[in-house]
Structure 1
C-alpha cells in the first residue's frame, strides 16, 4: 500500500457510512502497514476525561485491550508515554520499556502482548488534541527522527479523518435522535388529540380513564387528594383500594411523570402514580399497577398527557360549578331580600335551576371553624361542593349557596313538622363537616318554613341568629334548633326587631352612652357579673380585674340607671335587656 493510497482510503472512510470504530481501526491498521509496526493502537480520552482508552487497534489482542482499558487504565496524570504525548502535543518514544520506571504499571500486560519499544504521537486537529497514535515493536528499537516524522505525518492526516468521522457520527446520531423525536412527537400528538377528543365529546373522566388504560395496557384509577374515586377503567382487582391509597408514601411530585410508590397498608403490592395539578394544588392522581416491565417512553408520554387533559377536564367542571354556584347564590340573595310575595321572574329562574318555590322551605345555615376560629374561604367552597353533591339527587332540588360568609340551604319539605327540618339539617351538617377531620361544622335550622305567610328572609334570619348565638356560646359541631335556645329562640322569631332594640335601649341606654363617651366596659362587666351568678370575685377573675373594681363599676351602673341591682326585678330586667341586645344585633 502506498502512502497516497493509504491517505486516500482514510479520507474516503471518514466520509463514508462507516461508523467511528471502523475508522479508528483503519487508522491503526494503516499505521501498522505503512510503518512496519508489530502492533498499533489509537488512544482517545474516556467520557470522564480522566484516562486514555484504546478505541482502535491493529495486531493487539482483545485481552490486552480489555486489560488496559479496565485493569490498567492510562490515566492522563500518570506520566505514561501516551499521557505525556497527549499533554505536550509532541511525540514520545521509549526504545526499551523495561528501562523506563514510569512504564512499570503496564510492564506486565506489555510482556504478555510481547513488545519492548513504543512510540506515541499526538493526534492534532487544529488546536485540539484528539488522542494518540501508538506504534509498538516486539524487540528493543531506537526510533529515528525520520520514523517519528513519518508517523507524525500519518497522525495529522488521521486526525483530520477522525474529526470528519466524528462529526459524521454525531450527525448520524443527531439524525437518528431527530427521527426518534419526530416519531415520538407524532405519536404524542396522536395521544394528546385522542385524549383531548374525549373531553370535547363530553366523555368526562371515565372516558379519559378508558382511553389511557388502552394506551398503556394497564387498568387505571383516577382519584382526588381525599382518595375519592373520580373514574376508573380495567380490572378492579389490579387497582389499589382506598386504604392502600390513603397509606401510600407519595413524595411531593415535581412533574406529571409517573413514579412507583409503596404503602404501609400492603408493602407487597406496588403501584405507580402520576399527579394532575391545577395551579399548585393536586387536582387528581392517576394510579395503575407497577409491573416487572416499565412503561415505554410513549406510554409514559400518554400518562403525562392524560394528567394535562384531566386537569383541563377538572378545570372545566370547576368552572361550570362556579357558574352554577354564582347563579344559585344570586337567586338565594334575591329570595332572602324579598318579602313573602316572590316575583314571577324569580320563580322562573328558580324553576330553570331545578327549584320549586311553591313548596314550603326550611332555612339551614351552616358555619365552619377550625380550633375555634372561622375557617378559610377555600374550605367553605369545598364544603359547598359537598352540599351540592348531597342535594343534587333530590327533586325538587334544595337550594344551596354561599350568603354573607355562610352556607345557606333552603330545603323543601312536604311535611312542615319539626322532624323534617331537623333531618335535613342533620344531612347538611354531615356533608359540611366531611370537608376535613379538623373542621367543626355547625348548622342551625329555622323552626318554621317559608311559605305564603312567611318570607324566606324571615326564616333565614331566625336560623342565622340561632347559629350565631350557638357559636358565640361555644356550641359547635352540632345541629342547633330554635327550641334548644329557650327564650332566645322565642325572641329570634319576633317580627319587629325594632321593638327589641327600643327595649334594650330604654334599659341600658345610660350605660351604653357612658361606655361610648368614656371608653369603659360597664356593659361587659354587667354581662359577666350575671354570667357569674352575681359572684363579684368570680366576675373579677373572668375580667382579670380586682373585685373592688367590679364593685365600683356596678355602683356606677346603679347610679346611671337609678336602679338597685340587689332587687330581683331589676336583675331580671337588666338580664332580659342584655339578652335582647344580643338577639336584636343578630336580626
Structure 2
C-alpha cells in the first residue's frame, strides 16, 4: 500500500466515479458506492477481479434483493446503520458475495449511502480501514451535493401524486408532461398501494418503508406520499410473474421485513386494480381504500384479502346496499333471529353467520364457535324452526350471506 501522510481524499473529484477509482487506487481493491437504498451510484473501473454479487449489482444498477436480505440476516446492514466504523463482511457463497469491507456514508446519524471494498487479492489493514473512513467523509460531500434540490423535487412529486389520487389531473397528456418534468419514467401498468400502520407515518418510518420498497425489486415506486398513518405508493410491478402476483408478493414480504428489520407490526395493506393509464390512478386508489374498509369492518378471513381483485362479491356490496336502502329492504328472517337472541340471550344470529362463512363446514364452524358439533346441529335446527330458512336453497343462502356482510359493513 502506498504511504499517505495526509488525507488522499481531500479536494474535489468531479464525480463519484472518479472518487471510486481513487479509493480503488489507494486501497488496491475493487470499489462500489451505493445510495441508502442500495442503488449503484459508482464503481471503480481499473481492476479485473470481482465476484458474482458485484457483477450483478453493476449490471442491474442496484444490489440484488437476495444479497440485501442475506446482509440483513447476518446483521451487516444494522451494524453499518449504527456506526461510522468500517465493517468486515465474510463471504456468503449462496448469494455470490465474496469477502469485503463496508462503511456507511453519514451525515450525523443519517445514512446517505455505503462504500463497499472487495477483498479479492488482499485484506485491508487497520491503516486501510482508517483511509476508508476518510473516503466516506469525502463521499458525504458529494452525496450531499447530489441532494441539493431533492426536497423541493420531492414536494413537487407529492403534489403531483395527490392531484392524480384525487382526480384533479384528468388529462393523460398533462400527467405525462409533469412526470417528464420530474424525471419520472412513466411505466405502465401500475397500481396504487395503501400501507396502513398503527401509528403516524413519521419521516423516519417513511424512509424505512421506501427503503423496503426499493430493495424488494418486485415493484418500482414511481410516486409516494405519507397521509397520517398511511403510506401511499404508485408502483409498477417488475418481473416475469403476473403483475398482480408481484403486487401480492411485495405486500407479503413487506409485512415480514417491517417486523424483522424495523420492529413494526400490526400493518394492514391493500392495493387496487392495475391501471393502464395514469388518469385511472384515482380509481385504483379508491379500490385500495375499499379493500381496507372491508378488512377493518369484517376482519377475520378478509385480512388476507389485500388486492381489490381478491374481494369477489365484496366489490359490489355497496351497490346492493344502496338499492336495499332505496327500496326500504329488510331481511325479515335475520331480523327475527336478532329479536329471538335479544329475548332469550342466545347466539343464533352469530351461529348462522359463522356457519355460512365457513362454507357450511360443521367441523370448522364448531371450532370457531367453540361449541360441540351436536350443539351446532341443535342451533341450526332451531334457526330453521324460528325463521323457516331453507339452508338447502342456494338462493336463500346467498342472500342471507350477503345480508350478514352488508350488516357488518354499513
Whether TM-score is above 0.5 comes out as yes
The residue number in structure 2 matching 1:506 is 330
The residue number in structure 2 matching 1:446 is 273
The residue number in structure 1 matching 2:24 is 213
The residue number in structure 2 matching 1:540 is 366
Contact 1:383 / 1:435 at 8 angstroms: preserved in 2?
A: yes
Map 1:152-191; keep pairs closer than 5 Å.
184=5, 187-188=6-7, 191=9
Q: Cα deviations across residues 259-284 of structure 1 (Å, max 9, x unaligned)?
A: 66643639xx9855142165387952
The residue number in structure 2 matching 1:409 is 234
Q: Secondary structure at the match of 2:32?
A: strand
CA distance in 2, matches of 1:326, 1:456: 19
* Residues 1:565 and 2:394 are matched in the alignment: no
How far does residue 305 in structure 1 lie from its aligned partner after superposition?
1.6
Structure of higher CA gyration radius: 1
How far does residue 231 in structure 1 lie from its aligned partner after superposition?
2.8
Q: Secondary structure at the match of 2:42?
A: strand
CA distance in 1, matches of 2:185, 2:40: 32
Contact 1:221 / 1:231 at 8 angstroms: preserved in 2?
A: yes
Distance 1:522 1:305, change over 3 A: farther
Contact 2:32 / 2:44 at 8 angstroms: preserved in 1?
A: yes
Q: Secondary structure at the match of 1:237?
A: coil
CA distance in 2, matches of 1:330, 1:515: 52
The residue number in structure 1 matching 2:285 is 460
How far does residue 528 in structure 1 lie from its aligned partner after superposition?
1.0
Q: Which of 329, 336, 347 is the aligned partner of 2:165?
A: 336
The residue number in structure 1 matching 2:59 is none
How far does residue 287 in structure 1 lie from its aligned partner after superposition?
0.9
How far does residue 331 in structure 1 lie from its aligned partner after superposition?
3.2
Map 1:30-41; keep pairs closer than 5 Å.
none
The residue number in structure 2 matching 1:237 is 48
Q: Which of 114, 117, 120 is the aligned partner of 1:284?
A: 114
Q: Which of 355, 358, 361 is the aligned partner of 1:529?
A: 355
Count of residue correspondences: 360
Structure 2: where are the runs of 5+ without partners?
56-62, 198-204, 260-267
Q: Secondary structure at the match of 1:239?
A: coil
Q: Secondary structure at the match of 1:545?
A: coil
* Residues 1:304 and 2:133 are matched in the alignment: yes
CA distance in 2, matches of 1:274, 1:360: 36
Contact 1:365 / 1:408 at 8 angstroms: preserved in 2?
A: yes
Q: Taking CA–CA contacts closer than 8 Å with sequence separation of 6 or more, which of the two structures ends up with the larger relative contact order?
A: 2
Distance 1:540 1:355, change over 3 A: same
How far does residue 219 in structure 1 lie from its aligned partner after superposition?
3.2
Q: CA RMSD in A?
A: 6.0
* Residues 1:263 and 2:91 are matched in the alignment: yes
